[in-house]
C-alpha cells in the first residue's frame, strides 16, 4: 500500500528510469554463438567504412608505389578520414617485408578503416583509423604465358571474357575509389564462377560499360585505346593511372583515352585488355564466342612490364618528406 500523501510514480517516470538503467548496460557482441570479450566492432566490419590498395612486391620491392600512395591519400581525403600516420605505416611495411625472405612476386594489401566508435552510421568526431597489412602469395595459377623483362619471366594472363549479369553500383561520390563496399564485385565474381570464362564486363544501371569484375578495361578501336569514363562508378586502378606514362616511355604513339563506352563498342573492338596493379596487362583472347587478336596488346604489355621494372621501391627507403 502507498502511504497517505505519497504520490504514485508516473508512467513517464518509470519509463525514464528504465531507459537510464538500459543506458548503463554494457554493449554485448557474440560471434557464432560465443560471446566476445570486446563488444566494440570495427566500422569496416559493420559498414564497410574504409579503403584499401593492393601492392605488388617484386623480390621485396614495391611496384609503382607512387600511384598507391596517391590512391591512399585521395581516399583518405574524399572519405573524410583523419590524416594518415605515414610514419607508422612506413614502419609497419618495413617490418612486414623484412619479416621473412622475399619471393619473386608477392602481394601486400594495405587496408585502412575508420576504426571504432560513432553512433550508427554517424562517424565518431575524433576517429582513430586502423591500418591492416596482409601479405599474400602472388595469384599466378592462371598464367598462360610469360614476357621477358630484364632476363626474368613475367607471368602473362590471357583471358576469356563475357558480360556479367550483375550491375556495377552507380555512386558518383565514391566513383574511382577502392573503398570497402565491394559487394557488387563479390556478386559478379560469384556469378562468374558458374561459367567457363575468366572475366566479365560490368555495366552500370544506365547501361554504360564500367570495367571488369576485378580490373579496368581498355578496348582498341580504330587505332585508339579507349577506357570507360568512371565519373559515376568503378575503380580507377593504379595500372590504368600509370599506363600512359609507360606507353610514352616505350615510344608508342598511342595513349589511353576515357570515353563513354557501350557494350556494342566492346563487341566491335579489334582487341581488348584488362589491367590491374597486380597482374598488369591481361589480353583478352576471347569475348563470348568471338576470338580476338592479342598481338596488338603484346607491345602494350611489354611496355608496362618494362616500365614497372624501373618503378620498384625498397620499403626500407620509405620516409615522410617534410
Residue 11: pLDDT band with limits 50, 70, 90: low
Residue 10 is predicted with a pLDDT of 62
Instruction: Using alpha carbons, list the distances in angstroms from residue 15 to 6, 24, 25, 126, 179.
Output: 19, 14, 16, 32, 42
Average pLDDT along the chain: 92
How far apart (Å, rounded) are the C-alpha atoms in residues 256 and 279?
Answer: 18
> 33 in the Ramachandran plot: left (φ > 0), alpha (ψ -120 to 50) or beta?
left
Q: How many CB atoms lie within 10 A of CB 284?
A: 28
Percent of residues, the chain, with pLDDT higher than 90: 82
In tens, the pLDDT along 62-117 reads: 999 999 999 999 999 999 999 999 999 999 999 999 999 999 999 999 999 999 99
How far apart (Å, rounded) are the C-alpha atoms in residues 222 and 173?
Answer: 33
Name the more confident of 225 and 152. Answer: 225
Q: Which residue is associated with the grid cell 559493420?
A: 46
Burial class (CB in 10 A: 0-12, 13-18, 19+), 35: exposed
Contacts of 311-315 with C-beta under 8 Å, sequence gap 24+, read 311/63, 311/64, 311/65, 311/66, 311/242, 312/58, 312/61, 312/62, 312/63, 313/61, 313/62, 313/65, 314/60, 314/61, 314/62, 315/60, 315/61, 315/62, 315/90, 315/93, 315/94, 315/97, 315/98
DSSP annotation of 204 reads B
Helix (H) or strand (E) holding 91: helix 86-98
pLDDT beyond 90 at 149: no
Whole-angstrom Cα Rg for the chain: 25
Residue 147 is predicted with a pLDDT of 79
Q: How many CB atoms lie within 10 A of CB 59?
A: 12
pLDDT beyond 60 at 192: yes
pLDDT beyond 90 at 140: no
Residue 146: pLDDT band with limits 50, 70, 90: confident
Report the sign of the C-alpha dihedral through residues 55, 56, 58, 64, in that order: negative
Contacts of residue 152, defined as CB under 8 A and 6 or more positions apart, other chains included, come to 104
- pTM of the predicted model, to two decimals? 0.90
Residue 9: pLDDT band with limits 50, 70, 90: low
Region 47-55: mean pLDDT is 97
Percent of residues, the chain, with pLDDT higher than 70: 93
pLDDT beyond 90 at 144: no
> 5 in the Ramachandran plot: left (φ > 0), alpha (ψ -120 to 50) or beta?
left
- What residues are paired with 51 via a beta bridge? 112, 179
DSSP annotation of 317 reads G
Residue 175 is predicted with a pLDDT of 96
Give the residue from 169, 164, 157, 158 showing the smallest Cα distance to 195: 164
For the chain, the distance separating the N- and C-terminal CA atoms, rounded to the nearest angstrom, is 76
Q: Are the beta carbons of 212 and 169 closer than 8 angstroms?
A: no
Report the sign of the C-alpha dihedral through residues 56, 62, 64, 66, in that order: positive
pLDDT beyond 70 at 13: no
Amino acid at each position: 500500500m502507498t502511504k497517505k500523501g505519497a504520490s504514485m510514480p508516473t508512467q513517464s517516470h518509470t519509463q525514464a528510469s528504465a531507459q537510464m538503467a538500459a543506458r548503463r548496460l554494457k554493449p554485448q557482441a557474440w560471434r557464432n554463438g560465443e560471446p566476445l570479450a570486446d563488444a566494440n566492432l570495427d566500422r569496416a566490419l559493420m559498414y564497410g567504412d574504409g579503403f584499401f590498395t593492393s601492392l605488388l612486391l617484386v623480390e621485396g620491392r614495391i611496384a609503382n608505389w607512387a600511384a598507391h600512395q596517391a590512391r591512399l591519400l585521395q581516399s583518405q581525403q574524399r572519405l573524410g578520414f583523419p590524416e594518415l600516420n605515414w610514419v607508422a605505416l612506413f614502419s609497419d611495411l618495413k617490418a612486414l617485408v623484412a619479416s621473412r625472405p622475399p619471393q619473386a612476386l608477392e602481394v601486400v594489401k594495405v587496408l585502412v578503416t575508420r576504426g571504432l566508435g560513432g553512433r550508427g552510421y554517424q562517424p565518431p568526431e575524433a576517429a582513430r583509423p586502423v591500418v591492416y597489412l596482409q601479405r599474400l602469395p602472388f595469384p599466378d595459377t592462371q598464367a598462360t604465358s610469360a614476357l621477358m623483362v630484364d632476363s626474368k619471366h613475367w607471368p602473362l594472363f590471357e583471358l576469356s571474357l563475357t558480360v556479367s549479369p550483375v550491375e556495377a553500383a552507380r555512386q558518383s561520390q565514391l566513383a574511382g575509389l577502392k573503398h570497402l563496399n565491394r559487394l557488387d564485385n563479390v556478386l559478379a565474381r560469384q556469378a562468374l564462377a558458374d561459367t567457363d570464362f575468366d572475366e566479365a564486363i560490368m555495366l552500370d544501371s544506365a547501361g554504360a560499360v564500367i570495367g571488369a569484375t576485378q580490373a579496368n578495361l581498355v578496348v582498341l578501336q580504330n587505332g585508339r585505346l579507349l577506357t570507360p569514363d568512371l565519373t559515376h562508378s568503378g575503380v580507377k586502378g593504379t595500372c590504368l593511372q600509370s599506363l600512359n606514362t609507360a606507353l610514352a616511355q616505350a615510344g608508342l604513339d598511342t595513349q589511353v583515352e576515357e570515353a563513354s563506352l557501350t557494350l556494342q563498342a566492346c563487341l566491335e573492338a579489334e582487341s581488348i585488355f584488362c589491367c590491374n596493379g597486380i597482374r598488369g596487362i591481361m589480353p583478352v583472347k576471347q569475348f563470348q564466342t568471338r576470338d580476338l587478336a592479342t598481338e596488338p596488346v603484346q607491345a602494350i604489355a611489354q611496355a608496362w612490364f618494362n616500365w614497372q621494372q624501373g618503378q620498384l621501391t625498397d620499403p626500407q627507403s620509405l620516409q615522410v618528406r617534410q
